[in-house]
Homo-oligomer: A and B are copies of this chain.
Amino acid sequence: MIDRNALATVLQMGFSRATGPRNIVVETVVAWEGHFSAEELCRSIPQVGRATVYRTLVSLQEEGVICRLMIDGRAPRYLLGGTQHHHHMVCTQCGSVQDIADCGVDDFVDTVAERFGYEPDGHRLEIYGRCASCIGGERVTS
Contact = CB atoms under 8 A, between A and B. Distances in A.
A76 to B, nearest CB: 8
Contact of A132 (B104, B108, B117, B127): B117
A117 B131 contact: yes
A129 interface: yes
Nearest to A119: B130
Contacts of A127: 109, 112-113, 118, 120, 122-123
Interface of A: 70, 72, 89, 91-92, 98, 100, 102, 104-105, 108-109, 111-113, 116-132, 135
Given A105-B108, A119-B130, A121-B129, 16 more contacts: A89-B112, A98-B116, A100-B112, A104-B112, A113-B127, A113-B129, A117-B132, A118-B127, A118-B132, A119-B135, A120-B129, A121-B128, A122-B128, A122-B129, A123-B127, A124-B126
